[in-house]
Amino acid sequence: MGHDRKIHVIFSLVFPLFLLLLSYLLVVAFYPLTSEQQTVFQFLDGKKELAINYTTAEISHLQDVAVVMNNVNIAFYVLAIMVGGILVYSWKRRDLLQSMLRYGGLATISLLCFLLLLLVIDFNWLFTLFHQLFFPQGNWQFAGDSLLIQNFPIGFFVNTGLLMFGLTLASGIIIFFISIMVKYKYQKR
């Protein structure tokens, strides 16, 4: 496999994940939270103790969520460095930059279409798989009347998930169209 092809493959794998995590971080930063949700997020960031009376199981789950969120932050920065490095490397080679942006945009759109298909086919399976991957301890199921579910109802996750999906999809589409503009500008020279 040629050097440029390896860069294309790496970028096409890394870029959609970078955009997805960027969208996640933006949604988490700007989504309007209730005061109870703000307290939980401050707890997850290690800035505040929980003042609300969560059960031991709920606190254990929130501690696991904090670990996952920390790992997501680390992954985001690693991906950002990789994406930035690849873009800097390809900056002077407009043909390489254009094709990477095209494939990165298409890979992002394709990933989201695949995830949407999985959601439509079997949301419960995907939901369960997500939780089994990130919370293998099994402490992620709570009764509907639990305080954690009351403060973070399914609507919270649906809304934030839709925002993440929309932001990532829009980013992929924009990047794809930027690649067309770069190609057009490159061909005019």
> pLDDT of 95-132, one tens digit each?
888 999 999 999 999 999 999 999 889 988 988 898 99
Q: What are 36-64's pLDDT values in tens digits? A: 999 999 999 999 888 778 999 999 999 99
CB-based burial of residue 26 (10 Å sphere; 0-12 exposed, 13-18 middle, 19+ buried)?
A: middle
List b or e across 60-75, with b for residues whose CB sees 16 or more CB atoms inside 10 angstroms.
ebbebbbeebeebeee
Return the structure tokens found at 87. Answer: 């873009």
Task: Give the least confident one: 63-67, 113-117, 134-138.
Answer: 134-138
Instruction: Parse the chain into domains and list their residue ranges.
Output: 3-188
Residue 101 CB neighbours (<10 A): 24
